[in-house]
Chain A
Amino acid sequence: MSDLIQIAHETLLAPTGLGESDLDRMLGELVGGGIDAADIYFQSSRLESWMLEDGIIKEGSHSIEQGAGIRAISGEKTGFAYSDELHLTPLIDAARAARAITRSGGAGTVKVAGLTPVRQLYQPINPLISLTESEKVELLRRVDAEARKQDSRVKQVMVSLVGAHDVMMVAATDGTLSADVRPLVRLNVHVIVEQGERREQGSSGGGARESFQFLLDEERALGFAREAVRQALVNLEAVDAPAGTMPVVLGPGWPGVLLHEAVGHGLEGDFNRKGTSAFSGRIGEKVASSSCTVVDDGTLPGRRGSLSVDDEGTESQNTVLIEDGVLKGYLQDKHNARLMGVESTGNGRRESYAHLPLPRMTNTYMLPGSYDPQEIIASVDKGLYAVNFGGGQVDITSGRFVFSASEAYLIENGKVTTPVKGATLIGNGPEAMLQISMVGNDLALDQGVGVCGKEGQSVPVGVGQPTLRIDELTVGGTGV
């Protein structure tokens, strides 16, 4: 038994006296009679959050979620039930409800085996105990003080600190027995600044699959405070954003949300199996300019979007989605991979035991090109330089995507000039990717705050990219 499986056993099964033989018995309920595959996902998740506002520690809360989700698959059909009680009887009931998609009863035996220990991309620690409560409170106060001392125009500072300790184990009828312990921490700073009648906001934050120490190292948390204030002050000077189609230069790092929306979702296996994506059936075709290579990489140590194993027990991978502009592959979970006759890429993820796994992204980014970022900006006569974004959204069928800039500037005669108000950028995924004419040498990944939503399920993700130029994109400002 590997260490992780040992920990998962102690956390998930031992407290209610469940053992290996019970796992085999539950899975036994799930084989035969037309069931192609089935799995049981056990989870125990502890989350803690702290919030500072108006200079005081306003809220602290703790949450415990635990239970098991049981899934049975027959062809394209999936039956699913879950229980928040980790006892044999409710779990057997859930297994029978899940397998009711087929009329015939189950009869079979399954013996799961913990495979070779998985490569661990993060330590199996509980980040909630990595600082004392007093130290957490102190961290929030220091971040607040740092933000306020930047500028007297700072009127409101909100700081939130969140930590999660997630233990999971999955057992499947294909013999899989896999476990993971996933730490996750995050700190966000939001500020409001005021100058005369005008008020603006700025925000920043970051996190990782680490202990809270990550936020103290290199004064990261204080850096987020300074960054939030800087952004808010820039916005105080912002004029109306232009409206219309123009060249857009996107900065490195977080603007990689472009790739998440314009490319990533459209390459998820479920949409492509069903043929509902603008990228369906296009493997081998040119879908981006030849300077673009885009990957989804779940194997980066410690990163927010990384997973040692996905929620189906498959080791995460570095999957090439687009190579030199040519579509190479999709993101797969086991179910869609089986129906499409390929292998899972380790992208089967779920929000919790009470949700079904879906093909989801991990860390999605573009590999660096050869241009100096300054050269890219200098190439634009009149356009937009966008360096920070809020969220985005995509319609995978038409390929249309949007993402909203929260910090942007005009480019005039090759120089970055006036800051402009936040504006939504809109484009069509495959078309916009073909318009990428210059890719910088400054690849950066985001700071670790990304959340991706799909079918009502949220999972942590990462994005990244180098500076890049899109020759034509529609900018949704109010100016001329």
Chain B
Amino acid sequence: MNDIKERQARLQQLVADILQEAKAQGASAAEAGVSSDAGLSLNVRMGEPETIEHTRDSGLGVTVYFGQRKGSANTSDLSPEAVRETVRAACNFARYTSEDDCSGLADADLMATDLPDLDLYHPWDQSVDEAIELAQTCEAAARDQDSRIVNSEGAGVDSHAGLHVYGNSHGFISGYPSSRHSMSCAVVGQDGDSMQRDYWYSQSRRHEDLETPEMVGRIAAERTVSRLGARRIATGEAPVLFQADVAVGLLRSFLGAIRGSALYRKASFLLDHLDQRVFPEFVRIHEMPYLPRGLGSAAFDSEGVATREQDFVSDGILRGYLLDSYAARKMDMQSTGNAGGVHNLRTTSGSLDRQGLLKKMGRGLLVTELMGQGVNTVTGDYSRGAAGFWVEGGEIQYPVEEITIAGNLKEMMLGLQEIGCDVETRTSVQTGSWLIDHMMIAGQ
């Protein structure tokens, strides 16, 4: 632990040096971020180690301001010469960019002053052999689960720990160590001509919080086998239940539409929707940056602005946008502490679990996988490849694939009937399954 404190102090000093160098080269303001991370990433396939990667990444990024003009540069080389050259490159760029009224550091009075320890650093002291054994256990659980599991893409263990420090010429310099561990498994099932793959993973700040390797392997196998014999369904409209892990994608699409950069560019279907109804009344979407060990926890954003608990949606009404200081100035508003994104987002969740949601839907499509990038943030038009299960009488009937689902996000959001209690917790954006009243399904 002392070691990490020392390393953090060194990186903080490096950031201070970078800011000093920028000032020496004539910048009126500057900001810099430095990170350093090391880890192990390995994969086991068919019982044998396949790849063992030792990762060690560092990088620094600096942005300098000459009045209202800015320039940026970054490098993976933290040597003093490289730092000087990088600052010089950033300063050189600032000679050619334009005066921009909105550019500059975030306002000084927004800088974070309360910097609690969010308990994000839990390095995993394991040997390569121990990690291999875990992955082997995980893959074996998947392969032994069902005789239709005929092949494997393997099971992996990833473990990374490192430091991030940010500082700017307001005098703000702060950093924190963090860790992230995950275990994953992907297997291939076959039944007659039908071959399918699926996967599962677990992720957390602390390795003790990961699901057991047996559980990860078993779920991967169950998901794979359940897809065998998938068929297409007829084209038509139906209600759609997005399983929690894919519902997270819908929530991210919503976030993309309330992001400042999309709004000031008039590139969002939620332009001018502040204080308007965008979801049914039961929906609340809120940010909780201070959760201990949270995957998205942070006391300050990537401009040093204090993060805050806030509602983006309450009672179904859009209450706020997702703004960094640049977008905020463009829109004559104030930064919401979201430079770089959100920090732990949660939605309301109802009382229904998956069974309850299927029952409520009655007849419709349960979507467990989405493919492709068919989401248009400008218009809200949504059209993506999908796979999942056809549901009748509240019961799963058979797996389906090679279909698309389409609609418009604005209508889909208003048509949200229920959010399940089966919350996806492996990501920093968290929600339960979403039941949408109707979408167009294209199939046979």
Contact = CB atoms under 8 A, between A and B. Distances in A.
Contacts of B188: 276, 397
A255 interface: no
A423 B441 CA distance: 12
Contacts of A398: 194-197, 230, 401
A356 B76 contact: no
Interface string A190-234: 001010000111000000000000000000000000000000000
Nearest to B153: A276
A395 B75 CA distance: 35
A133 B74 CA distance: 18
Interface stretch (A5-13, A75-83, A441-449): A75-83
Contacts of A402: 371-372, 374, 384-385, 404
Given A199-B266, A243-B406, A477-B406, A65 B75 contact: yes
A100 interface: yes
B385 A476 contact: yes
Interface residues of A, number: 76
Contacts of B235: 243-245
A200 B267 CA distance: 8
A432 to B, nearest CB: 10
Contact of A80 (B51, B95, B267): B51
A134 interface: yes
B405 A60 contact: no
A121 B21 CA distance: 41
Contacts of B73: 61-64
B373 interface: yes
Given A84-B77, A192-B266, A244-B442, A64 B86 contact: yes
A428 interface: yes
A interface, over-half SS:
strand
Given A57-B98, A200-B379, A476-B405, A274 B151 contact: yes
A101 B53 CA distance: 10
Contacts of B45: 76, 274
Contacts, number: 239
Interface string B105-129: 0000000000000000000000010
Contacts of B77: 64, 66, 84-85
B144 interface: no
B49 A63 contact: no
Interface of B: 45, 48-58, 70-77, 82, 85-86, 89-90, 92-100, 103, 128, 151, 153, 188, 194-197, 230, 232, 235, 265-267, 271, 371-374, 376, 378-379, 381, 383-385, 387, 401-408, 440-444
**Nearest 10 A/B pairs, CB to CB:** A476-B404, A60-B93, A402-B385, A402-B372, A56-B98, A61-B72, A397-B197, A243-B442, A424-B374, A244-B235
Interface of A: 53, 56-67, 76-85, 94, 97-98, 100-101, 133-134, 136-137, 155-156, 158, 192, 194, 199-201, 241, 243-245, 274-276, 278, 354, 356, 390-393, 395, 397-398, 400-404, 421-428, 474-479
